[in-house]
Amino acid sequence: MSNSILHKAETRGDADHGWLHSRHTFSFADYYDPDRVHFGMLRVLNDDFVEAGKGFGTHPHDNMEIISIPLEGDLEHKDSMGNVSVIKQGDIQVMSAGTGITHSEYNKNKDKPVKFLQIWVIPNLRNVKPRYDQITLNRSDRHNRLQQILSPDPDDAGVWIYQKAWFHLGQFDKGFSADYNIKSKGDGVYAFILSGDVTINNQELNSRDGFGIWGVEKLSLKADTDAEFLLMEVPMK
């Protein structure tokens, strides 16, 4: 039996710290909603806007898979493993926090903001050795198709994490439609609309809406306008 949950963009948690404006799909920091703690193994989906030259000071994480997807601008990363890098639109970054890491993230530019998605997935292995990776994606590979950007397999397309999860980005022209087949029985898919209007399994969605669905074998996707979206398939338990 199919089940679904709709999170309209305007219902998200809203944190404005001046230098940081963050919209929280799921409970995070000072935003808590007992009905919105997680979607299966998807724990955090933050839509972050960081002012020019500002950022997150050094802070710790452990036993979490942390994925960053820049949408605009350049984000500088430094961590306790010695990594120093800049991620920009078209890149994806992953950290397995495992036994524990510290890191900082700053807007590299002094003249423009940076926008990025911060996503946390609960791992299926605890206390692993921390690891870091980032890759640059070919944006044309998501034009009117689904581009895999994350999987559980180091040899598969995209980055990998310690969880049986698959992420795909799609950039569809108005009127284009496609199906997404669930990769592992019992999984759910959480869709996040980056821009435009999309209908998924007869549910109309607009920019920054989130839609979780489980108990199905496939999703039918149709772009009602030019649109870009992220699909996150995760175990539900």
| Tens digit of each residue's pLDDT (9 = 90 or more) over 94-138 | 999 999 999 999 898 999 999 999 999 999 999 999 999 999 999
Question: What does the alpha-carbon distance between residue 209 and residue 219 come to, in Å, rounded to a whole number?
Answer: 16
Collapsing DSSP states into helix, strand and coil, what is residue 6? strand
Closest CA to 70 of 16, 114, 105: 114
pLDDT of amino acid 1 = 85
Per-residue pLDDT tens digits for 211-231: 999 999 999 999 999 999 999
In this structure, the strands spanning 177-181 and 166-172 are: unpaired
Query: Domain spans of the chain?
Result: 12-136, 139-234
Overall pTM > 0.95: yes
Counting Cβ atoms within 10 Å, is residue 232 exposed (0-12), middle (13-18) or buried (19+)? buried
Closest CA to 120 of 214, 18, 190, 15: 190
Q: One fold for both 12-136 and 139-234? A: yes
In CATH, 12-136 is 2.60.120.10: yes
- Ramachandran sector of residue 98 (left: φ over 0; alpha: ψ -120 to 50; beta: rest): left
User: How far are the Cα atoms of 25, 29, 37 from residue 44, in angstroms, in the given order?
Assistant: 7, 11, 8
Is the pLDDT assigned to residue 57 strictly greater than 90? no
Is the pLDDT assigned to residue 150 strictly greater than 90? yes
Question: What does the alpha-carbon distance between residue 113 and residue 57 come to, in Å, rounded to a whole number?
Answer: 17
Is the pLDDT assigned to residue 56 strictly greater than 90? no
Count of Cβ atoms closer than 10 Å to residue 71 Cβ: 17
- The CATH code of the domain at 139-234 is 2.60.120.10
